[in-house]
Structure 1
């Protein structure tokens, strides 16, 4: 490992405000030379010693698990159709259009990550109820990683069925703040404090922003009480902080850590990170881990922190 690699490995797990923070490589993206979610991208992350990487996982028609973000293949690959309706064998010949790299399957990713010290974050792209066979397949596939894995989902009904792996809850289907967001299936209503939230409490004029948010955090916690982490979009975290509720600190009181997604190149990196750290975020999921780590280091230097 060269000096640059050593700097990056340490910079991706900095100590900020007295706490260890982590940058997670979104869709296993590090240098950007490889297709997101590809096995080559995963191996690049592992070889660089990143503390954490994320892959998106979908089930095929025959219950295999492929690492791919979209539900359909057309946008980024040479294939066509819905992954959920195709057998795994038909996906073996499909490649990413830009790089020519094949699609990766979860068992291949686990083999690449196992024993490396890199944590694998699995974003389970399945909203309909998961079957017992799929629970067994997922937990069996992840077993070689021991505790060095976490499975995140927006579907509490699926997370509650997982008992052999740590889980993380993303509350987007129940509460989120997205500036300029158009109507979406869930949640359907915007509350008085700007959050998309179908709870009656969101539109109660006699409830303060703090009381509303603290009550909703309690309710959402009850959906997946075993969750070790929440994965929450950056806009929601920052809007809560503007209203005086530091989500990371609220969750820490319940023994839960907070990951924020997804920091992008277009974001004001240093300023956004400062706000996220102040809100109690432990992990930042990002498309630009190197630039984010550099921005964090610059902010620490500016503040006179070694």
Structure 2
């Protein structure tokens, strides 16, 4: 890897520095910023009373001490839960502070990024299917608008991008905010994808690392079609090396500090 190549790859903290701290908590995102991550990845879901919260699963069972679907719970219900104790708290005394492991709203994460003291981008994934259909995208754009982030001058100027496995979700975003970058996430290689085309409304390709491992030439096809490539979730050194060798634009990882070190940036 050349020095220029190493520095041109954006390192994105997947759910924060989620190997070191509980995913989607303030502790994980603060750690990612401290570690030097270029961007933070988060998943968003809409609560029953209309708040966007950073929770990956449809239900809170895995990552909290509560039960139930996010869409059926109000923000006050979620705020009463502990989203940190499922991970070994002995690894970090910070997790004992409830303010760092309570449910994280997207609004609070946007505030954290605004106060970071340097440019930190956000990669926001809308989760689907959902009972709220297009309301997730509508609320997301409203919130981004409050922070002055919904209408960048151009996609390259944007500090936020919206990601989804749902082409319909990205189409909604693209129609309402045409200069906001959109990333089409891919879990499996399908015949329709093989020539490098993406669904309407998608600007950036987001293949999983398994696709990149099994079909490394696909990255070149995507580049020839004019699409930057952001690969998830890249944790192993050999996968980081592969992505760098193939010239991807972004690596999404649970281990931002280790990846930055491997790329020679720390």
Task: Give the TM-score, by structure 1 length.
Answer: 0.69
Match of 1:262 among 224, 230, 233: 233
User: In 2, Cα distance between the equivalents of 1:91 and 1:132?
Assistant: 22
Q: Which SS does the other structure have where 1:139 is aligned? A: helix
Structure 1 residue 111 displacement after superposition: 1.1
What are the within-5 Å matches in structure 2 for residues 126-205 of structure 1? Answer: 126-128=128-130, 131-143=133-145, 144=147, 146=149, 147-162=158-173, 163-164=176-177, 165-172=180-187, 175-176=188-189, 197=190, 199=191
Structure 1 residue 283 displacement after superposition: 0.8
CA contact (8 A) 1:49 1:117 kept: no
Q: Which SS does the other structure have where 1:274 is aligned? A: helix
**What are structure 2's unaligned runs of at least 5 residues?**
86-94, 150-157
C-alpha distance after superposition, 1:23-60 (max 9, x if no partner): 1111011771x321112322333355421111111111
Q: CA RMSD in A?
A: 2.5
User: In 2, Cα distance between the equivalents of 1:78 and 1:66?
Assistant: 16
**Equivalent residue for 2:49?**
62
CA contact (8 A) 2:35 2:257 kept: no
CA contact (8 A) 1:30 1:289 kept: no
Task: Give the TM-score, by structure 2 length.
Answer: 0.79
Structure 1 residue 117 displacement after superposition: 0.7
Match of 2:221 among 250, 263, 266: 250
**Equivalent residue for 2:89?**
none
User: In 2, Cα distance between the equivalents of 1:77 and 1:91?
Assistant: 9
**Equivalent residue for 1:237?**
212
